[in-house]
Amino acid sequence: MIEPLFIVTNNPLSLEKFKGEFEVEFIDGEVSEVYKVIRDKIHMGHKLLTHPLMSSIKPNETPYRTVCLSVKKIQGVDLDSLSLIENSIMTLDKFLNISPLPKYSEDIMYDFQVIDHDLIHHALN
């Protein structure tokens, strides 16, 4: 059984597929905005359950990111989660400074939605 979790995503497909089963916060923005919301949630006591940089796709190549956090809040801040998200933010910034996110066609954008959703779906199973 999957423990109760909270999902933060900018992926419309993940929102559609997970919204009936989990609490989902949809971010209408870029991956950097998703990471900032996740960092704020960690400061409020949530813990990361999936890695923010999960997959072999470089962070400046995918426009979507779905991340799972604990619903249960802890006292204080989980320092491991905070370190992971801060490092993920720095990694994303580093890669975006080297090469910005390309302009993709709608078909390719949908392919990235499927990849991102599939990664989390399999992590949950």
C-alpha–C-alpha distance, residues 17 and 116, integer Å = 12
Tell me the average pLDDT of the chain: 93
C-alpha–C-alpha distance, residues 123 and 116, integer Å = 11
Q: How confident is the model at residue 34 (pLDDT cuts 50, 70, 90)?
A: very high
pLDDT in tens, 59-76: 899 999 999 999 888 888
Q: How confident is the model at residue 86 (pLDDT cuts 50, 70, 90)?
A: very high
Domain boundaries, the chain: 5-124
| pTM given for the model | 0.92
pLDDT value, residue 1: 39
pLDDT in tens, 15-28: 999 998 999 999 99
How many other C-beta atoms lie within 10 A of the C-beta of residue 118? 15
C-alpha–C-alpha distance, residues 36 and 31, integer Å = 9
Share of the chain above pLDDT 70, in %: 98
C-alpha–C-alpha distance, residues 113 and 40, integer Å = 24
C-alpha–C-alpha distance, residues 65 and 44, integer Å = 21
Q: How confident is the model at residue 3 (pLDDT cuts 50, 70, 90)?
A: low
Exposed/middle/buried for residue 41 (C-beta within 10 Å: 0-12, 13-18, 19+):
buried
